[in-house]
Amino acid sequence: MRFLFKLLGLILLLAGVYFLGQNIYFSTNVYPYWWRGIAADGSILFLTSGILMLFVLPRQEKALGWVALGIGILLIFFSSRAVLTPTSLWQFCVSMACFVGGYQLFTTGRLNI
């Protein structure tokens, strides 16, 4: 039964990413400066590796994953290739509810409402 709650939590986390990520576009254009292409590629690599580090590394080394996520977010702003479109309040609320509920189910196996 506990496995089922953790699986439901993971599904809710992915649903939260889906609802919020519908309004974020990454564009690939010809870059006027050489470093923008590297920053765009690096942001994807750092974000992906940071998320993997948070799930795989032991608790003492999870700070390394947060550092990688921070670098990835900074590189997104440096590359200026992430286009954020307006999000409705409904989508934002559903996304945050899925994130919070999914995280609680995934980590503890129960909802604290």
| pLDDT by residue, tens only, the chain of 113 residues | 888 988 998 998 889 888 877 877 766 555 555 555 566 677 778 888 888 888 778 888 889 989 998 998 888 777 666 666 777 888 888 888 888 888 888 888 888 76
In the numeric block, the tokens 């899925």 are attached to 98
Q: What gap in Å lies between CA 91 and CA 48, rounded to an integer?
A: 24
Q: What gap in Å lies between CA 12 and CA 39, rounded to an integer?
A: 31
3-state secondary structure of 53: helix
Q: What gap in Å lies between CA 55 and CA 51, rounded to an integer?
A: 7
Token duo for residue 60: 């003492």
Nearest by Cα to 46 from 63, 69, 30: 69
